[in-house]
Structure 1
């Protein structure tokens, strides 16, 4: 049943529970926490997936410089040096291009892991003197090569087939070269291991020697040289005969600022770092699209009018309902009605119920007995009688407040 109205209004108290009290606030807190979990669990799942993906893709920093002949990490080339020495080659790691060529007791084969030399003339001279120059990464010294694609087949770095007639590569049928590029073979050159309209290996004769340019040094690193026929390819290019003298120019070759080969900051980032940044960018866009404001037609929303003292009235009604103080509620309703009628009708504060009923009947269409019944009401009402009393008090108050000239006087029910 509805509760009584207090002196400042007629707000209804909250419905009681079967035990006679209102609902506990803990239920609302539990529902709020559940709503928050349902709302934010996709974000938490996305963050967890990003962390797991980054941990799987990212790699630990390798000891030493990448491609360094002294590094035993996956990106080093120490295994290449050991393989060449194992087949009888004399390997020397140098920090600059040797001045002596093959005809002057210099190396027979020169491997440049990263060609960032500002002046290619020493390399050209080495080739003209009959040496074999192998450039793993960087610009060619003799040929003018144009990259036309990559070794990746979609998102997969599959092995490359030889598909050329160079006798030295007869045993190296397949090569795995992840992250490499392919070049368009120029006139007079031989291209091997083709893909995407280009070749990963370009052999260009010059003078009495040969320049061999690879589309990347990854095939010669410790982590990849054991794949496919990579080791066979390295031996065929660098040490085709027992006793071959090989000079390896490491990646820490000191050059001036002009030899940076146009590399920028992004070129220095590893593939795993770029993938992690891409994942973060995609996650940011997903969160923005999910949480962005949807601009649409404005919808009008009527604001509730806050009445002064309405919270107090509601609180008093709830307290009376929880304590089942029906007698106290009935007394408050009658006293409030008596005070309002005495002030409006101009009667004494100690006027009897009959005097107030007669005065109200003279000025309105209300019967005097109905006003007296509202003022005297049941002293110990039940829930139904308390609701009926509250309705009767409201009808009397409304009828007395209506001017006599206004049509439609209120009939007390």
Structure 2
């Protein structure tokens, strides 16, 4: 009887002498299969481990940084990370936010609220935002304020008429912070008291124009709370902090209290990742670089595997092998490996397929449906038919030959 491709064995496979583990129908053991799979997958595993190692390095070594101007985590020339790091080393806790609402909730008595220019200078804070900031009890540090911010948060001051070019100004007041700085560089227009009544609470320092001594690039309003105003935000950037006495003035201006709320307003008031309300806030710093690296690794793996597999190519066989020879060869392999279960499964599967075709049983029918059809066609008892088609594997070669003869007899009793 012709052997067909085997189904998976249903019997308990024999054990190879020497304790090498259970033997499958193809002659392999657990150890040999594992060794073959490892040889095939070790380069993939190595590539994955290399990618994971580089990803870990990027996540650990890459410092958190942004490209937002004046932000305390921005390492570029227009960022403020140098100031934030120096303040942190001196015990000042810096809380960075881009939301006026959150800044107002964090600012309280005994803290400093620093307001810096945002994405669209002069239009970042709405009237409602300014009202929230004006209602806090924290000391204010306004750096490069807009007209609206100056009017709402420091109404005792008005803009001067200088500015437009960088000047080095000398402290001309008794304010201790200004005297500690000595000189600063600024391109702002300076500030003036808004009226005679403001003269009593306003101190101006560093006049950008020597002809107007009342104008100052730095001003302090001592009212119910302290409001320090600096006309040029460039002074605190990484690129210009070390010039003249800029660092001394900025650090004393922002570091008067142990807690500093650093506000860089954002024009778009949607989900703010910097405040922890956006989805990206759940990701650690450097996640973008890690994702880009993983994408590169995935593309390389796809190209590598794709080139290795290659397209399918149709090719004529150089030798024509008769089906009987292929069947005998497969039978010898089964016999050499002791795969009686595979051989029996192949015989039963082929017989069941032919019986189903003759009796009109659908290909997806259950074994019970096929057994019932064979019982009606042959008159044999159902347990006998089920045992022949779906019984246990034969224990030895003699039982396998007996099973083959009984299957052939069963098939001969069924006529189309």
Tell whether the structures are fold-level matches, with TM greater than 0.5. Answer: no
Q: TM-score band, normalised by the shorter chain? A: 0.3 to 0.5
State TM-score, norm by structure 1: 0.41
Which is greater in Rg?
1
State TM-score, norm by structure 2: 0.40
Which has the larger share of helix? 2
